[in-house]
């Protein structure tokens, strides 16, 4: 089947962070040194071939960029300094934009102005909304943090969280369904049954929480840091979604929840600091190139964590008015962070990566069933001819 080439594909993906891809001459060293590349998923070479030849549709339907965890070995061993590891990272950003129906992901990945102005707009909108809520709707007092006439009541924050969560989940599910359509449907894809999807469904939660495939790389430090970060983040989310009333109570510290909150905060601050340090020092291959969206994500996340800790400390040390102000400043970062990176940016990768492993396993099962069927048909034809 003929495939129309896109001669501008390399230039297009350079806007998403692909660097030096034109230097690649398909020697295959990158795939040879990669511990995660195999017969079923040959990368980065195959993805680099799609990129260089302008095969945008095959690249859009490929799972290989998500199966790469960018240890940097391929870039370090490339004889042409073509940076295949960074190219795979750029492809993941491009794929995120391909799955997104709104166009926001493409805008945030390719425009520095959008990376600044969109979060700024959301921050100001958050401030205006919560000030209006605190003064004019709830009739709260900024000097009261918790209880009757609290400036930012728990139920209002819960409503904000739930609304934001449903909004983001809605778009993320749409984007994930588009990923499924691009990678699992089409004439060139093996036909998978419902039973195959159900049989391997456990891979989704397993790889989401453990990122176990990443541990197959020689350098296990990034995997360990990521698991530490993910556990800290998930712990904090559980506390804020299900135990917000206890978290905001006080000013006495409720150690039943705050112990876990402090541990999670330390984990988040430590891993964010190490990410900053690595990207500044650039000692590791996977830190040598940093897209502006990577910096934007880290800055926003650090802002949210730091202001959240400040708000909690002020509240529990008996400064309710300062705690409310810190809370407003904190919430100014929550909407920009969640609104730009969960469904449309960096955090969406946490959904696409386990999905790619899941879909790849289903594809393997479908191919195996297809081969068995072909063998059975061949045997039947042979038996008929003999008869």
pLDDT in tens, 270-296: 999 999 999 998 888 778 888 888 898
Q: By the 8 A CB rule, do 133 and 304 touch?
A: no
140-194 residue pLDDT tens: 788 888 777 888 888 888 888 888 888 888 999 999 999 999 999 988 888 999 9
Domains of the chain, residue spans: 9-99, 104-363
Longest dimension (CA), the chain: 93
Residue of 386, 2, 370 lying closest to 196 (CA atoms): 370
User: What three-state secondary structure class fits 150?
Assistant: strand
Q: Which of 174, 340, 317 is nearest to 251 (CA)?
A: 317
Least confident range of 195-199, 299-303, 355-359, 381-385: 381-385
Is pLDDT above 60 for 203?
Answer: yes
Bridge partners of 141, per DSSP, are: 150
Q: Is 217 exposed, middle or buried (0-12, 13-18, 19+ CB in 10 A)?
A: buried
Tens of pLDDT, residues 107-122: 999 999 999 999 999 9
Cis peptide before 15 (omega within 30 of 0): no
Dist CA 315 CA 248 (whole Å): 8
- Give me the helices (H) in the chain, please: 9-14, 29-33, 45-52, 56-60, 64-67, 73-77, 84-99, 104-110, 112-132, 154-184, 194-199, 203-210, 221-242, 244-248, 255-281, 292-316, 320-341, 349-386
The vertex-356 CA angle with 166 and 350, nearest 5°, equals: 45
Instruction: Tell me the C-alpha distance between 72 and 42, whole Å.
Output: 16
CB 306 within 8 A of CB 333: no
- The Cα–Cα gap between 38 and 46 comes to 11
Sign of CA pseudo-dihedral 95, 67, 342, 266: negative
């Amino acid at each position: 089947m003929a495939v129309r080439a896109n001669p501008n594909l390399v230039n297009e993906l350079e806007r998403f962070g692909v660097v030096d891809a034109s230097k690649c001459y398909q020697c295959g060293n990158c795939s040879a040194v990669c511990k995660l590349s195999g017969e079923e998923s040959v990368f980065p070479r195959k993805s680099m071939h799609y990129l260089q030849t302008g095969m945008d549709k095959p690249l859009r339907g490929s799972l290989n960029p998500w199966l790469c965890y960018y240890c940097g070995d391929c870039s370090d061993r490339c004889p042409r300094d073509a940076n295949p590891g960074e190219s795979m990272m750029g492809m993941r950003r491009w794929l995120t934009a391909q799955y997104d129906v709104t166009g926001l992901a493409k805008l945030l990945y390719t425009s520095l102005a959008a990376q600044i102005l969109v979060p700024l707009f959301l921050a100001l909108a958050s401030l205006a909304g919560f000030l209006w809520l605190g003064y004019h709707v709830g009739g709260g007092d900024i000097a009261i943090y918790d209880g009757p006439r609290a400036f930012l009541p728990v139920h209002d924050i819960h409503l904000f969280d739930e609304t934001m969560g449903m909004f983001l989940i809605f778009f993320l599910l749409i984007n994930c369904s588009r990923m499924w359509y691009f990678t699992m449907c089409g004439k060139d894809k093996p036909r998978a049954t419902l039973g195959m999807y159900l049989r391997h469904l456990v891979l989704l939660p397993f790889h989401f929480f453990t990122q176990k495939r990443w541990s197959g790389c020689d350098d296990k430090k990034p995997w360990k840091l990521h698991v530490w970060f993910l556990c800290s983040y998930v712990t904090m989310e559980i506390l804020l979604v299900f135990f917000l009333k206890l978290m905001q109570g006080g000013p006495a510290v409720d150690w039943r929840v705050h112990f876990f909150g402090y541990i999670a905060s330390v984990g988040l601050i430590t891993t964010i600091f190490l990410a900053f340090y690595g990207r500044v020092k650039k000692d590791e291959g996977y830190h040598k190139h940093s897209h502006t969206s990577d910096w934007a994500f880290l800055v926003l996340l650090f802002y949210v964590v730091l202001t959240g800790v400040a708000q909690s400390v002020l509240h529990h040390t008996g400064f309710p008015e300062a705690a409310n102000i810190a809370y407003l400043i904190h919430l100014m970062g929550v909407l920009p962070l969640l609104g730009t990176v969960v469904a449309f940016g960096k955090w969406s990768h946490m959904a696409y990566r386990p999905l790619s492993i899941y879909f790849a396993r289903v594809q393997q099962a479908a191919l195996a069933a297809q081969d068995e069927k072909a063998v059975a048909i061949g045997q039947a034809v042979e038996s008929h001819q003999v008869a």
